[in-house]
Amino acid sequence: MSAAILETRNLCMSFGALEVARGVNFRLERGARHALIGPNGAGKTTFVNLLTGLLRPSRGSVLLEGEDVTALAQAKRVKRGISRTFQINQLFRGLTVQENVGIAVSERLGVGGSMLRPAGKRADVIAEASRLIEMLKLGEDAGRRVAELPYGRQRLVEIAIALGLNPRVLLLDEPAAGIPSAESHILLDAIATLPAEIAVLIIEHDMDLVFRFAERITVLVSGAILAEGAPAEIAVNREVRSVYLGSALDA
Amino acid sequence: MSAALELTRRHQLKWWEALPWIVALAAFLAFPTYLAFGTQLLITILFALSLDLVLGYAGIVTLGHAAFFGAGAYTAGMMAMHWGWNEPISGLFAAALVAGAIGLASGLVLLRTHGLTLLMLTLCTMALLEQAANMGAAWTGGFDGMPGLSFGKILGLFGFDVLYFRSQYLYVLAVLFLCFVIVRTLVYSSFGQSLTGIRENVLRMHAVGAPVRARQVLVYTVSAALAGVAGALFTQATGYANLAVLGLERSAGVLIVLILGGYGRLYGAFVGAVAYMLIEDVLAKAYPTAWQLGLGLTLIAVALFARNGVIGLFDALRRRLAGAAR
Amino acid sequence: MNSVASILLGGMASGMVLFIVSVGLSVTMGLMGFVNLAHGAFAMLGGYAIVLSMRHWGLPFPAALLFGFASVAALSAVLERLLYARLYRAGELDQVLFTIGLVFVTIAAVTLAIGPETQTVVLPAWLRGQTDLGFMQYRTYSLALIAAGSALMVALWFGFERTRIGARIRAAVDNRRMAQSMGVDVGRLFTLTFAFGSGLAAVGGGLGAEILGLDPQYPLRYLAYFLIVVAVGGMGRVNGVFFAALLIGVLDFVLKIYFPKGGTLFIYALTLILLLARPHGLFGKRGVA
């Protein structure tokens, strides 16, 4: 069995008396199209925070490409290839879309700290940022401040930033939330055109999207993995149905 | 791609950027008796520029920036008084070095915190320096400071003109120009852009892999060095240094300058300094209490309505006109 | 031995004044996350209200304290609703600017209306003189201050831990959004807490007029001390502020006697070290810093 690109071993985390991660053993394979589902409060976002380093676990470890990164800070993990979107947009609201994506691309290209050359002269950064903006159909808004955009388009900017980091592992926290259904195909297209080598983990409540996208599904309930497997298996899993899917599938 | 095009053009020089310098030179010729005031104005602009880097661009709220101004002032003063070293230009470098070193040391330590704690710590650091200056009277002249310092000729050619401040004015203007070029370069670089990212959303900056703390410490150090240069210029131009170069009043003063003119914009320091010092010169001497009242009301109004200062008001006006024209 | 006791008592008395003034600031900062640098202005206004009402209306001391509390509480409630509330979502910088502006306005207004001189409080007879403690005699007023401060601490502790409104305040301090979603009217809570805290500051301003002095420069002169007490004690922690105030009060008192020149430097250095070790204060909450 090939080594997973991202793995957790016995990951445990509690806030005081509340256990939000209970011995989670999770594997994300290379090139995976993996979905993480579960009821509200199951600890999905917390799990992603633990994967990216925003939170430190009380026990257990996170491994990236077999290397233990549990002690590494967020920024360092990003440099090793993990990128994420936030459930609530984390954007540079006062800056334009072009600048938002440009900052991410600059960091990825390693020129974010360059102090002499004007940012405007970095044709490679600008071109790459423009490419991502086009891909997410944000072209006509590129020069507008993020704060002025409707929430759905802001969400797309969030994704553009995550993609601009050229990650090997992409974690999307409820990417479709807030995107009007008329525009959700933009998101789906963007995900569909991602290079096959990138491992993608999506947290989602939209079961339609989950079953269309995922090759593998993990169900998280109360901080522990309840079930894991191919979509077909999960759909008929009785425990999962009773705890979570139930009405969503019968409908 | 108009957005991308706009970005590629942003750093290019616009015609009106020459104006402040033309005006400064014209003032030299037109107001020969006001050059002492003009020199102070230019020094204030430099000090405000240094604060803008840290506050306006990186979003680090500090009330203790006078610590670096004072460090530079006292360095230049002590070098002249105790070691007889009064060559001006090397004095500037020494001041930049000392102030920058203090900025680096305090930045490494303080920037681990944020919010009120950081604000407090900047105040404490400045207060510490102030107390040290007060106590080390043998070195610093204590409460009375070091009056009557004299400095050598700039480049061995131009002596300081105690009466009309002619050489001081041009000297300070030249230094301001050089420092401004440095600040402008920084602001338009990728580094400068990442500072605005840090200001707008620190979490996101971490999440794009930026070494946030390193960038903050770096800009803090550079800013401290520039403030130190401003302080040294002050001592060299006026011939004295005392406790007033440190302390809450000076920190608050430069903060107000930046607020009035608009922070996070290169020329806010220029506009704000002119506005503040003109009004202060007219009002403060005559009616100090009314000056304080007016200043307070202005600050309240700015905080509530005009967060981006005078330049911000113009900007908003311009945007509204452009929107109406569409 | 007696001199140690008298120094300790003297320090505790000024510490108590710091506590009474600062506790309101601590709670409102913890509750609203708002940097209110104008808190000292409320203390000063209260002091003036108390002194002047005694002088011109002949109010007895306790009534004057009540008047000071009520008048400043009312004024601050109005300011909070009209002005402060507009800046809750604003950045730190705007809050700093607004409150510094408010301080300037207050100082200028008081200077213009009343004058720059220091005001003195005429204590009632039963608070003057000395009290026999058995092993020594000590200033009655200082002892009264210590008693009052301690009583306030206990009352506040009781209020926070045992009453419903106290529970609501604690909940809102810990997690505003959750408290809101549980039906707590956060806006009204803010106004009430702000008014109460400012009222307490007003009383502190009057009570402390003997020790800290009372003149138009008061808000700026003591700004650093109030902020230090709150930062070291932890925002929203009443007992934290209590002990921090005592600590700073005693330290400052001792240093003024033995190191009149370098004392303040020591306090700033100590604060620096403390805040670096514990950014949330000695008693503040631990968490994602």
Mean pLDDT of A120-142: 92
Q: In the prediction, which pLDDT does C287 show?
A: 35
* Residues from chain B contacting residue C101 (CB–CB below 8 Å): 295-303
The least confident of A19-33, A179-193, B54-68 is: A179-193
CA–CA gap between residue B313 and residue B273 (Å, rounded): 17
CA–CA gap between residue A119 and residue A103 (Å, rounded): 10
Least CA distance to B5: which residue of chain A?
A120
CA–CA gap between residue B210 and residue B205 (Å, rounded): 6
Measure the CA angle with vertex B203, ends B200 and B208; round to 5°.
95
Q: Does C115 touch chain B (CB under 8 A)?
A: no
Q: State whether B201 and A91 contact (CB < 8 Å).
A: yes
Query: Which DSSP string do the residues of C153-219 spell out, in sequence order?
Result: HHHHHHHHHHSHHHHHHHHHHH-HHHHHHTT--HHHHHHHHHHHHHHHHHHHHHHTHHHH--STTHH
**pLDDT one digit per residue (tens) for chain B, 326 residues:** 577 888 888 889 999 899 999 999 999 999 888 898 999 999 999 999 999 999 999 999 998 999 999 999 999 999 988 888 888 899 999 999 999 999 999 999 999 888 878 888 898 899 889 888 888 877 888 777 888 787 877 777 777 777 778 888 999 999 999 999 999 999 999 999 999 999 999 999 999 999 999 999 999 999 999 999 999 999 999 888 888 888 777 888 899 899 888 888 889 999 999 999 988 888 777 788 888 888 888 888 888 886 666 666 667 777 777 666 54
Give B234→chain C minimum CA distance, Å: 26
Q: State whether C96 and B119 contact (CB < 8 Å).
A: yes
CA–CA gap between residue B50 and residue B229 (Å, rounded): 10
Q: In the prediction, which pLDDT does C284 show?
A: 63
Q: Are B42 and B176 a contacting pair, CB within 8 Å?
A: yes
Q: Average per-residue pLDDT in chain A? A: 89
Question: In whole angstroms, what separates CA C285 from the centre of its chain?
Answer: 21
Specify the CATH number for the domain of residue B250. 1.10.3470
Q: Does B206 touch chain C (CB under 8 A)?
A: no
Give me Rg for the CA atoms of chain C.
19
Query: Could you tell me the maximum CA-CA distance found in chain C, to the nearest angstrom?
Result: 56
* Residues from chain A contacting residue B12 (CB–CB below 8 Å): 120
Q: What is the pLDDT of residues B287-303, one digit of tens each?
A: 888 888 888 888 888 88
CA–CA gap between residue A223 and residue C245 (Å, rounded): 43
Q: In this structure, what DSSP letter does residue A95 have?
A: S
Q: Does C273 touch chain B (CB under 8 A)?
A: no
Residue B248 lies in a domain: yes
CA–CA gap between residue B133 and residue C61 (Å, rounded): 43
Query: Which DSSP string do the residues of B82-150 spell out, in sequence order?
Result: HH----HHHHHHHHHHHHHHHHHHHHHHHTT--HHHHHHHHHHHHHHHHHHHHH-HHHH-TTT-B-S--
CB neighbours of C98 closer than 8 A, spacing ≥ 6? B299, B300, B303, B304, C83, C84, C87
How many inter-chain contacts (A to B, CB under 8 Å) are there?
138
Identify the segments of chain C with pLDDT beneath 70: 1, 283-289
Q: In the prediction, which pLDDT does A251 show?
A: 42
CB atoms within 10 A of CB A139: 15
* Residues from chain B contacting residue A86 (CB–CB below 8 Å): 203, 207
Q: What is the pLDDT of residues C254-265, one digit of tens each?
A: 888 887 777 778
Nearest in space to A100 (alpha carbons), one of C34, B1, B197: B197
Residues 83-142 of B with CB under 8 A from A: none
Against chain C, the chains showing at least 3 CB pairs within 8 Å are B
Q: Does C145 touch chain B (CB under 8 A)?
A: no
Structure-token pair, residue A43: 């600890």
Structure-token pair, residue C233: 């004690």
Report the length, in residues, of chain B.
326
Structure-token pair, residue B317: 């006006």
Give C117→chain B minimum CA distance, Å: 14
The 8 Å CB, 24+ separation contacts for B104-111 are B104/B217, B104/B220, B104/B221, B104/B224, B106/B67, B106/B220, B106/B224, B107/B216, B107/B217, B107/B220, B107/B221, B107/B224, B108/B217, B109/C276, B110/C276, B111/B60, B111/B213, B111/B216, B111/B217, B111/B220
CA–CA gap between residue C201 and residue C199 (Å, rounded): 5
Query: Which DSSP string do the residues of A214-243 spell out, in sequence order?
Result: -SEEEEEETTEEEEEE-HHHHHH-HHHIII
Q: State whether C108 and B289 contact (CB < 8 Å).
A: yes
Question: In whole angstroms, what separates CA B151 from the centre of its chain?
Answer: 23
Residue B27 lies in a domain: yes
Q: For residue C241, count CB atoms less than 10 angstroms from its CB and return exposed for 0-12, middle for 13-18, buried for 19 or more.
A: buried
Residues 153-192 of A with CB under 8 A from B: 161, 164-165
CA–CA gap between residue B270 and residue B42 (Å, rounded): 8
Range A1-81+169-251 has CATH code 3.40.50.300 = yes
Structure-token pair, residue C21: 């003034």
CA–CA gap between residue A76 and residue C276 (Å, rounded): 24
Q: Does C85 touch chain B (CB under 8 A)?
A: no
Q: Right CATH number for C2-277 from 2.60.120, 3.30.70, 3.40.50, 1.10.3470?
A: 1.10.3470
User: What residue type is assigned to position B217 of the chain?
Assistant: V
Please give the model's pTM, rounded to 2 decimal places: 0.87
Q: In the prediction, which pLDDT does A246 show?
A: 53
Q: State whether A95 and B190 contact (CB < 8 Å).
A: no
Q: What is the pLDDT of residues C219-242, one digit of tens each?
A: 888 888 888 888 888 877 888 899
Nearest in space to B243 (alpha carbons), one of B79, B77, B45: B77
Q: What is the pLDDT of residues A204-215, one digit of tens each?
A: 888 888 888 899
The least confident of A13-17, A161-165, B2-6, C170-174 is: C170-174
Which run of H or of E encompasses B304? helix B288-304
Q: In the prediction, which pLDDT does A104 show?
A: 96
CA–CA gap between residue C224 and residue B120 (Å, rounded): 8
Q: Looking at per-residue confidence, does A118 or B305 come out higher?
A: A118
Q: In the prediction, which pLDDT does C162 show?
A: 82
Structure-token pair, residue A147: 């704060």
Q: In the prediction, which pLDDT does C211 show?
A: 83
Helices (H) and strands (E) in chain A, counts: 10, 10
* Residues from chain C contacting residue B302 (CB–CB below 8 Å): 97, 101
Is residue A2 classed as helix, strand or coil in its secondary structure?
A: coil
Q: State whether C107 and B292 contact (CB < 8 Å).
A: yes
Range of the domain at B304: 17-325
Q: State whether A165 and B208 contact (CB < 8 Å).
A: yes
Q: Does B307 touch chain C (CB under 8 A)?
A: yes
Nearest in space to C24 (alpha carbons), one of C93, C72, C65: C72
Number of domains, chain B: 1
Q: In the prediction, which pLDDT does B311 show?
A: 66
Burial B194-226 (b: 16+ CB within 10 A, else e): bbbbbbbbbebbbbbbbbbbebbbbbbbbbbbb
In chain C, where the domains are located: 2-277
Q: In the prediction, which pLDDT does C289 show?
A: 26
Q: What is the pLDDT of residues A36-72, one digit of tens each?
A: 999 888 889 999 999 999 999 999 999 999 899 999 9
Q: In the prediction, which pLDDT does B326 show?
A: 47
Q: Phi, psi (5° rounding) for residue A28?
A: -115, 115
